[in-house]
């Protein structure tokens, strides 16, 4: 009798569980209108399921994760732009997201890249003169976009970041140019803020900046190499270029790359100090100095 009771109880629990699963797997609503849903590169199934729930496409993120894992589709969901409806059940939505979205494509700009490293074909002329003002990010580009429309999309993102950092239009050129140097010279936000101070201190006293990255930019602009930003040689330091900050005082005439958010922040918010020198040590750290004697000491100690 006891076993019969347990069997009946288990059966009822199973029926209820199955019913709940199928209910939560059913369409969110009867709205059959197609709506855009974008999956970003590298986005996890958990994040995707949560956004599907938040945007009222599914009833339960957990059920989406459950069915995608059970069907073996968990790792087959693709990045892109999709048109889906709230009237679709979870299995249909999973099928759509694993079959590929529109032919829109991802376009990525990495912090510190110069235009030639990411602008190809028609985009080269469209981005001419915009070095430094194309904000590094991943962009989902509609397949029908022209080169000018791509640049407009990227520029809009840049403008939003500049506004968030409260960078005024009056000193925008100087900030972006300085930020481009910081992007190539330092890695962390803190180090970038410290390097920004060194550069500003040198500018105040009319001291040559002697920033290697500016010379690399000038050299590569002249030679058009297959690989950019290679280490300098002694001969490179003699090139005739306005970007040679060993020979010309002040900031270079324009940005040398496209800086990211940390570099823009650092250019706007340098950390006060009297430092005039810095090196990137073989220990992976940056070392700063006020005097040439201390700088030479750092070189002897950290550039072994």
pLDDT digit string, tens, across residues 26-66: 999 999 998 988 887 788 999 999 999 999 999 999 999 99
Q: What are phi and psi of 39, to 5 degrees?
A: -105, 125
Quickly count: other Cβ atoms within 10 Å of residue 27's Cβ: 18
Residues 6+ apart with CB under 8 A from 274: 201, 290
Q: Which residues of 169-183 are buried (b: 16+ CB within 10 A; e: fewer)?
A: eeeeeebbbbbbbbb
pLDDT digit string, tens, across residues 68-114: 998 888 888 888 788 899 999 999 999 989 886 666 778 899 999 99
Return the structure tokens found at 253. 């005439």
**Which of 254, 257, 215, 258 shows the shortest CA–CA distance to 237?**
215
Cα 107 to Cα 40, 141, 156, 231: the distances in Å are 12, 7, 15, 28
- Domains of the chain, each with CATH number or no CATH: 28-98 (3.30.1490.480), 113-164 (no CATH), 172-302 (no CATH)
The pLDDT value recorded for residue 22 is 83
pLDDT digit string, tens, across residues 250-266: 999 999 999 999 999 99
pTM of the full structure = 0.71
Cα 169 to Cα 68, 159, 204: the distances in Å are 49, 10, 22
pLDDT digit string, tens, across residues 131-145: 999 999 999 888 778
Q: What is the Cα–Cα distance from 244 to 209, expressed in whole angstroms?
A: 9
With the C-alpha atoms ordered 109, 211, 233, 298, is the resulting torsion angle positive or negative? negative
């Amino acid at each position: 009798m006891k076993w019969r009771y347990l069997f009946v109880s288990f059966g009822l629990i199973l029926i209820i569980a199955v019913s709940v699963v199928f209910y939560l797997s059913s369409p969110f609503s009867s709205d059959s209108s197609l709506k855009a849903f974008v999956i970003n590169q590298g986005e996890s199934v958990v994040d995707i399921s949560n956004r599907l729930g938040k945007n009222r496409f599914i009833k339960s993120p957990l059920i989406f994760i459950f069915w995608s894992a059970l069907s073996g589709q968990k790792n087959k969901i693709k990045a892109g732009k999709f048109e889906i409806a709230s009237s679709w059940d979870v299995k249909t939505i999973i099928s759509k997201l694993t079959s590929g979205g529109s032919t829109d494509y991802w376009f990525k700009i990495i912090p510190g890249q110069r235009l030639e490293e990411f602008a190809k074909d028609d985009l080269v002329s469209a981005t001419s003169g915009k070095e430094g003002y194309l904000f590094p990010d991943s962009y989902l580009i509609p397949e029908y976009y022209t080169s000018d429309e791509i640049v407009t999309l990227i520029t809009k993102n840049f403008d939003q970041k500049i506004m968030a950092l409260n960078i005024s239009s009056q000193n925008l050129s100087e900030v972006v140019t300085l930020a481009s140097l910081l992007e190539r010279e330092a890695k962390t936000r803190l180090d970038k803020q410290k390097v920004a101070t060194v550069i500003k201190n040198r500018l105040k006293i009319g001291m040559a900046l002697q920033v290697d990255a500016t010379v690399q930019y000038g050299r590569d602009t002249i030679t058009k190499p297959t690989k950019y930003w290679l280490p300098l040689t002694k001969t490179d330091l003699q090139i005739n270029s306005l970007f040679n900050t060993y020979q010309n005082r002040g900031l270079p005439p324009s940005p040398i790359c496209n800086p990211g958010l940390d570099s823009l922040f650092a250019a706007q918010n340098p950390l006060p100090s009297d430092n005039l020198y810095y090196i990137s040590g073989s220990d992976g750290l940056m070392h700063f100095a006020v005097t040439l004697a201390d700088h030479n000491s750092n070189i002897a100690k950290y550039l072994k």
